[in-house]
Amino acid sequence: MFDLSITKILVLALIGLVVFGPEQLPKMASQAGRALRDLRRLADNARADLSDSLGPEFKDFDFNDLNPRAFVRKHLLDPVDEDPSTWSDSDADGPYAELPEPPPVLATLAPGEVPPYDSEAT
């Protein structure tokens, strides 16, 4: 979660030893552990309360889907179930069957040509 390696943990312990001293460090570590445990319990209770209040319609709802990274990974980066090599433009029910026609290409003005003016549009 925090991407802590052994060296980072050792550096943090050394900084804690210097800042708090050897007498206070065990007490601070136990307080930090207790606070983390209480925070996890609070988050689990909030998640359970929210799941209960949403009702049976959302029983399969996954709270991790609300995480932007998980959303992008799920909807943009996961491989597609279908094989794209089997797609063709002639398939009436293929992935491109519902796409609208592209807009027509507008003609460009020649250099020095005045664009048309619609007095009712303004």
Given this model, what pLDDT does residue 82 score?
60
- Better-scored residue on pLDDT, 63 or 6: 6
Amino acid at 85: S
Give Dmax (Cα) for the chain: 85
Q: What is the pLDDT of residues 72-84, one digit of tens each?
A: 877 777 665 566 5
pTM, to two decimals: 0.44
CA distance 32 to 76: 38
